[in-house]
Amino acid sequence: MQLKSITLFLFSVLLSLTAGAQAPAGFRPIFNGQNLEGWHISRTTHQGTTPDVRVEDGAIVLRQQPYGQGGVLLSDKKYKNFELYVEAKIDTFSNGGIFLRSSESGIAYQIELDETAGSTGSLLGERMPVSNSVKATERERVWKANDWNAFRIRMVGEEPHLTLWINGVQMWDVTQPKNDFVAGATEGMIGFQSHWTALFSPAAFDWNGLESWAPGATHRFRNIAIKELDKELTE
């Protein structure tokens, strides 16, 4: 084998070892790992409209900008029935979520990402009540602190049936008794949220009561892929 071929081979091996896990077979990437093509920042959400969103080392990175102002990054495309795969790495003292069937203004079913409150993996509503909220009670058994963790989310039906796996282990499986969207939406965008902050004083550097987002805190997302399912599925 020539030296050039050996070098290329070793480089490919190194790349495969450092790239992290990959989406399961049958899933289609919706993030190209290079830029934000296919995604946009919401200009109407109450969380803030000027977040620092960029691509670094093959991951989407969300930070507040300016401090205190969060925001939501949304997929251009809307989805109804789907399975979503995404790997997330979230800092302590940060609060955000993975939005499901989101509106442009960020009304959505939400998978919470909040290590400070210990609620990562909970099913909540963003700007809407959820009939059946649920906690990921088994999360600590599989969670890798300060590292990448894989989320697999299944959502089907007009009265949504949702299932969450973290690092391959099922956390919960719940069906809503009704569609919780006020307008009855049955499809929406995938979103990643950086929560706004109101409890921290940069001038006094007062951490008392901080539960949302510390200066410089970051959420990272990579290997984002989706498998669209039959739109007539209910279970």
Q: What CATH number has the domain bearing residue 185?
A: 2.60.120.560
Q: In this predicted model, what pLDDT tens digit does every residue of 213-228 receive, in sequence order?
A: 888 899 999 999 999 9
Q: Using a pLDDT cut of 90, give the percent of the chain over it.
A: 73
pLDDT band at 116; cut points 50, 70, 90: confident
Q: How many domains does the chain have?
A: 1
Please report whether residue 169 resides in a domain.
yes
Please report whether residue 190 resides in a domain.
yes
Which range marks the domain in which residue 114 is found? 26-228
Please report whether residue 12 resides in a domain.
no
Please report whether residue 2 resides in a domain.
no
Please report whether residue 16 resides in a domain.
no
The beta-strand segments (E) located in the chain are 28-29, 39-41, 52-56, 59-63, 71-79, 82-90, 96-102, 108-113, 123-126, 149-156, 161-166, 169-175, 188-194, 219-228
Among 21-30, 39-48, 85-94, 133-142, the range scoring the smallest mean pLDDT is: 21-30
Residue 7 has pLDDT above 50, yes or no: no
Please report whether residue 74 resides in a domain.
yes
**Phi and psi torsions of 63, nearest 5°:** -135, 160
Please report whether residue 37 resides in a domain.
yes
Separation between Cα atoms, residue 45 and residue 139, nearest integer Å: 29
Q: In this predicted model, what pLDDT tens digit does every residue of 153-177 receive, in sequence order?
A: 999 999 999 999 999 999 999 999 9
Residue 13 is predicted with a pLDDT of 34
Sequence-distant (6+) residues with CB within 8 A of 167 are 142, 143, 144, 149, 150
| Mean pLDDT across 1-26 | 49
Question: For the chain, where are the alpha helices, taking DSSP H only?
Answer: 3-18, 139-142
Residue 184 is predicted with a pLDDT of 94
Please report whether residue 181 resides in a domain.
yes
